[in-house]
Structure 1
Amino acid sequence: MTKLAGVFPVLPTPFTPDDAVDAAAFRRLIDFAVESGADGVVYPGMASEVETLSAAERGRMVAALGAHLAGRLPFIVGASHADPAESAARAREGMAAGAVAAMIMAPPQAGQDVERQVAFFAAVAAAAPGLVIMLQNAPAPNGAALSPEAVAAVAAGVPAIRYVKEETLPCGQHVTRILAAARGGPDGGLDGVMGGAGARFVLDELARGANGTMPALELADAHAALWRAWSAADRAEARRIYTATLPLLLLQMTFRVRATKEVLRRRGLLENTAARAAGPKLDEGDLAELGALIATAAPCLTLHPPA
């Protein structure tokens, strides 16, 4: 398998006005990711409101993703679960749909204990032969918030773990430390560490050796352009895009998927912005501020100009 690198946005889950999963809208979002120049996609993740999806909904959407992508981009299936057997089942479901890897969150119930973490991931790998795992290290309470050295030790103990998505703060420092610790491992290190945290620290992560980023979808074209500029050693252009988009990402940090969906609506990519996830809703003042921040980012949004 070609090593995974670049921009892999996490796709949101669109809903109809009556709260059903909207497969037609989902296909439009997949097409946007492809045309934006993204290097791959991730589904489902926290930005997909995964905690609100039933097993049946989740399975249908993963299958729909694989069928609609039809090999145009690689995709990583989210397969986190407290039970390693359930996590493996979700990974196999993704692999059957064409996923090249499974992103699995370090389980908080295993705590900071490296041996318990290794046992968990080893059980997942044993139940899903051939699985490539991306260990997602997220802050508490959702994740285990492993130290960088613990992340590297868990990866060293489970050969199926080839990638890490690092989201604990300070993200940049942790990328440096994971890569340094992993280089001393038995196989010479990981295939890559990707940044998360909504791409709010993406330049620092890339400067420290991250091989990509996994933001939400609404700015996929801008993030793809930033990655291309960085890869071409055009640091000034990468910085320009980052500076223009960061204020909008800061607002998204508070309102999460609701902000993502509203930006997608204003870009003509989504009709209904309903969300199931818990969290604050945008009021009139927030919507006005979001509009101003979209205008700041607009020169970097090359597709579907925002209304």
Structure 2
Amino acid sequence: MLTSSAAGVYVICPTPFEADGRLDVASTDRMVEAYLKAGATGLTILGIMGEAPKLTAEEAHTFVRQVIARVAGRVPVIVGVSAAGFAAMSALSAKAMDAGAAGVMIAPPSTLKTDDQIVSYYADAVEAIGTGVPFVIQDYPLTTNVVMTPKVIMRIIDQNPSCVMLKHEDWPGLDKITTLRRASDEGQVRRVSIMCGNGGLFLPFEMERGADGAMTGYAYPEMLVGVVNLIKQGRRQEAHDLFDRHLPLVRYETQPNVGLAVRKYVLKKRGIIASDTLRKPGPKLSPETIADIDWLMERIERSQKGSLAA
């Protein structure tokens, strides 16, 4: 089961599709193995970048079962269960936990406007999934339009013992990490794991502010693992140098609307998935954009060869 001591890199997995839009079983297995080989300490599936709303309930259950079976207990698997209603959230949560998931992730709906509404929503969500299911708060205001202050997050943590992790994707949000870590260090709130998203765009600084690791899906997860490990070893300059080599592609992949298409293209070109298909509605990459990505990948590959030669 997922605990508040979780750390490292929990890679956010896209959902691989065949060219005709069917779930790609072979690519899913290959993707899981590639992420584990890169050093992932956990996997997260059916997140916002997993195209979860485009799956039928049965497809979601099938994908959850396949990933968890492939992992075979080697690392924890977190399942995104955000839904428009609590009935769907409860059903997917139950099936995920029965399949062997370590916990679930819940993002707030965009209808929440006040602090009390946010806190009440998570109380209702916990009632729906069960108090014995460890859960992750997904704090991603850039997508959800729900702003959670540190005080609101602390209220959710205090009122729900099954809350074990914050997925931090606020931007700018470094001071939020500092505030939450200071509060837990001073005993004002129970300490939970903080894992950071946003494509890894601020990862070295987030780690230095007290984050426990990354939970994102950048298409070179070995970079995320390297940066997290180097920061933990106190090797700041090396961590930032590694990050800086990837930053142009990280930035390109973080663009709104086309980000997942970029990520899937890179994963396909790296041989991790067979097709970069997104289910409709979704963007298509222009030839010019593909040329940009190819050039960025070539720069990364050259720099990696250079560092190995050195």
> Normalization by structure 1: what TM-score?
0.91
Residue matched to 2:301: 298
Q: How many Å apart are 1:185 and its aligned residue?
A: 6.5
- Runs of 5+ consecutive residues of structure 2 not aligned to the other structure: 306-310
Contact kept, 8 Å, 1:149 with 1:181, in 2: the verdict is no
Q: How many Å apart are 1:120 and its aligned residue?
A: 2.4
**Structure 1's 143 and 154: CA in aligned 2 closer, same or farther, altered over 3 A?**
farther
Residue matched to 1:246: 247
Q: What are the equivalent positions in structure 2 for 1:194-233 lying under 5 Å apart?
A: 194-233=195-234
Residue matched to 1:85: 87
Residues in 2 aligned to 1:211 and 1:107: alpha-carbon distance in whole angstroms:
26
Residue matched to 2:275: 272
Report the residue type matching 2:56 in the other structure. Answer: S
Matched, 1:281 2:287: no
Q: How many Å apart are 1:55 and its aligned residue?
A: 1.0
Q: Kindly provide the CA deviation profile for residues 19-43 of structure 1, in whole angstroms up to 9, marking residues without a partner as x.
A: 1111221111011111111111100
Matched, 1:263 2:262: no
Contact kept, 8 Å, 1:85 with 1:124, in 2: the verdict is no
Question: Higher mean Cα deviation, 194-203 or 125-134?
Answer: 125-134
Residue matched to 2:106: 104
Q: How many Å apart are 1:195 and its aligned residue?
A: 0.9
Residue matched to 2:15: 13
Structure 1 counterpart SS, 2:148: coil
Structure 1 counterpart SS, 2:75: coil
Q: Tell me which stretches of 4 or more aligned residues in structure 1 moved more than 6 Å.
A: none
**Structure 1's 300 and 28: CA in aligned 2 closer, same or farther, altered over 3 A?**
farther
**Structure 1's 91 and 179: CA in aligned 2 closer, same or farther, altered over 3 A?**
farther
**Structure 1's 270 and 233: CA in aligned 2 closer, same or farther, altered over 3 A?**
same
> Normalization by structure 2: what TM-score?
0.90
Residues in 1 aligned to 2:208 and 2:281: alpha-carbon distance in whole angstroms:
34
Matched, 1:157 2:159: yes
Question: Higher mean Cα deviation, 27-36 or 86-95?
Answer: 86-95
Structure 1 counterpart SS, 2:105: strand
Aligned partner (choices 61, 64, 67) of residue 63 of structure 2: 61
Contact kept, 8 Å, 1:106 with 1:143, in 2: the verdict is no
Q: Kindly provide the CA deviation profile for residues 56-106 of structure 1, in whole angstroms up to 9, marking residues without a partner as x.
A: 111110011111110111111111123233223222222112111211112
Question: Higher mean Cα deviation, 203-212 or 287-296?
Answer: 287-296
Residues in 2 aligned to 1:55 and 1:276: alpha-carbon distance in whole angstroms:
15
**Structure 1's 92 and 182: CA in aligned 2 closer, same or farther, altered over 3 A?**
farther
Report the residue type matching 1:173 in the other structure. Answer: D
**Structure 1's 178 and 84: CA in aligned 2 closer, same or farther, altered over 3 A?**
farther
Q: Kindly provide the CA deviation profile for residues 281-304 of structure 1, in whole angstroms up to 9, marking residues without a partner as x.
A: 3211111111111122225769xx
